[in-house]
Structure 1
Amino acid sequence: MSLPSEAMLARQTAARMHDFGVLPEDAVHVQLPAGIAKPRLPGLVVHHSVLPVEPVLVEGLPCVPAARCAVDLARTLRRLDALPVLDAALRSGAVCRDDLIEEALTHRGLPGVRQARALVPLADGRSECRQESQLRLVLIDGGLPAPEPQVWVLSRDGTGRYRLDLGYRERRVGIEYDGLSHLDRDRLRYDRDRANWLDAEGWTMRYFTDRDLYRRPAHIVAMVRATLS
């Protein structure tokens, strides 16, 4: 009620409406056509649109379409945050890869579009959390082959036993991100049983934390490269 009629939800806010909001964000992001004055309201971030766009209604609210939202974020966020958005957009089913490729082409000449176009081929809807996507990107940017997300390790009877965050199936190397949930006592017991079983089946596991991911990514690359070698 406080915004111009042309306003539509955009960026991180629209991503949440489209079910691929993986980045923490308290502000409300909206988009307006160029030339319309930005309203000044607490907690509101206004973006002017250079490209024309028709809004879509999500739960009765006008939003930037999903593909446009994903590409806008992919070209304006830092690289480490952009890939998780694209992964989540594919996982949500709101877009497919062709939608992202086509949308990125319409952004030709805009700031950050080269980053978005480079990341779209790397996006994978199998990734299930932001840190998993970021860990995969660290390995790719470190010159390693792209690991497969959500690798099922099968029991000898052919049933799925455990699922790994990332893996190199042929080399039997698994990579996991350990967040706060792994500090729970019951989870710790489960993780130990799982690690012992994987070791017995010939898998070499490497585990990384937020400290590794955000403060020493080169350590991650070196560890995985040595393991694959």
Structure 2
Amino acid sequence: MTERLYRYSELLSAGLSREQVRRLAERSRLHRMSRSIYAPSADQAGRLPAIFRRLPATAVVGFHTGAQLHGFGDARTTDVHVLVPAGENVPRIRGVVTHETVLPVRDPVLLAGVPCAPASRCAVDLARSLHRMAVLPLLDLCLRVGACQPEELWAEVDRHRRLRGVCQARDLVPRADPRAECRQESQLRLVLIDGGLPPPEPQLWVPDRNGIPLYRLDLGYRQHRVGVEYDGSSHLDRVRLRHDRSRMNWLAANGWHMRHFTDLDLYRRPAHIIKTLIPLLAP
């Protein structure tokens, strides 16, 4: 439950003097959560309600902050992002980013004590405004945590037609896949798609001779028996390295062509990834 918040004027009306308020704050008996808003503790859960005491009644949390509240905050920020109707008069508050919108927020939900745009609205707003490589990981995570269903994203994209960036959202929403397990896997999948290759299957299981799933690949093309892996820092662990070598030997012995890529390939030379895989996927 959100802790009681007090306006500075309410504290004065209750009989406290300005000096007493100052001393209580110095002794950590009161904590300034936002301008002229105080709470008995410094619990950060009270920050959003404190900020909303200073915003118009039409404001709702959205964009990055909304995604965080819904559990898919891949696009992290320390600022608080809020949506308000276009033309609304909003006070300037440090650390608060205001997005004026001509598209009404349907059915806001109460999260962390404040009204928040639905998960699909937060996801599509971000899909319209973020860099392409940041969007697919966010959409994948949105579906993975169950914040909303694919059909909700598609319906929200349709509501955003004619708005800036909707073409990017319309292209990437159908490509979202809840099977992706990390940001880099999603980005690697997008590099392959943007490079003209067929969409790979995320988290592809390779069975043994008895049909029992044995090894799971980050991405793969089952028909061509080609696996694509992103190797992050966790692969440098010695125990993990032994397992990887055993796994790669088994896959090679059973006709799989494995290709491994790192952050250098993903972020600095994506064309190298495509060039490496094209010969393996030729008809």
**Normalising by structure 1, what TM-score?**
0.94
Which protein shows a greater Rg? 2
**2:138 aligned counterpart, secondary structure:** helix
Which of 116, 131, 139 is the equivalent residue of 1:86?
139
Q: Highest relative contact order (Cα 8 Å, sep 6+), 1 or 2?
A: 1
Structure 2 counterpart of 1:183, one-letter code: L
Matches within 5 A, 1:25-174: 25-53=77-105, 54-174=107-227
Shift of 1:214: 0.8
1:2 matched to which residue of 2?
A: 51
2:36 matched to which residue of 1?
A: none
Structure 2 counterpart of 1:162, one-letter code: Y
Unpaired segments of 5 or more residues in structure 2?
1-49
Per-residue Cα deviation, 1:77-125 (whole angstroms, up to 9, x for no partner)? 1111111111111212222221111111111111100110111221111
C-alpha distance in 1, partners of 2:265/2:78? 26
The count of corresponding residues between Structure 1 and Structure 2 is 229
Distance 1:11 1:188, change over 3 A: same
Unpaired segments of 5 or more residues in structure 1?
none
Shift of 1:59: 4.1
**1:171 aligned counterpart, secondary structure:** coil
C-alpha distance in 2, partners of 1:25/1:58? 18
Shift of 1:129: 1.2
Distance 1:2 1:90, change over 3 A: closer
RMSD: 1.5
Which of 53, 59, 69 is the equivalent residue of 1:17?
69
C-alpha distance in 2, partners of 1:24/1:13? 8
Task: State, as a whole percentage, how many aligned pairs show the same letter.
Answer: 59
Per-residue Cα deviation, 1:48-76 (whole angstroms, up to 9, x for no partner)? 22211142112433211011111111111
